[in-house]
Structures are given as structure tokens and as C-alpha cells.
Amino acid sequence: MPFFDDLGVLAEPDAFAAHLDAMRRINWVVYAKRPFGGPAQVLAYLGRYTHRVELGRFC
């Protein structure tokens, strides 16, 4: 996976593993509302953006 600028160091497997380990230790708080239009509307929304962000390459 390519990394750019300040994140270039994460291209090294050991550095990437250490970064993931640190992220796993964080007690993340996630808030998500129910979709207004249902699951089909969510998929339609995401489908419009798959080629604009990295989501399209890895999902």
C-alpha cells in the first residue's frame, strides 16, 4: 500500500504494525445515525464516491 509525505515511514512493515498496534489500544467512540433512506440509500451514496477515495480500491 503506498504512503505519502509524513506517512511514508509506514511503508516499512514493522512501522506499520506498530502503528496498527497503537491504534488498536485507543478506546474509539463512534457515533452513527440510522440511514434516512434505508440500506439501499446508503449503498447508493457510497457507490457515488468509490472512485474518489481509497474506499474503492480496498472494499
Q: Which pLDDT value is given to residue 17?
A: 97
Distance between CA 15 and CA 26 in Å, rounded? 17
State how far the alpha carbon of 25 is from the alpha carbons of 18, 22, 29, 52, in Å: 11, 5, 12, 30
Domain count, the chain: 1
Residue 35 domain boundaries: 5-58
Using the predicted structure, report yes or no on whether residue 56 has a pLDDT greater than 70: no
The residue behind cell 485507543 is: 26
Distance between CA 25 and CA 3 in Å, rounded? 22
User: Averaged over 44-58, what is the pLDDT?
Assistant: 67
Please, which pLDDT band fits residue 9 given cuts at 50, 70 and 90?
A: very high
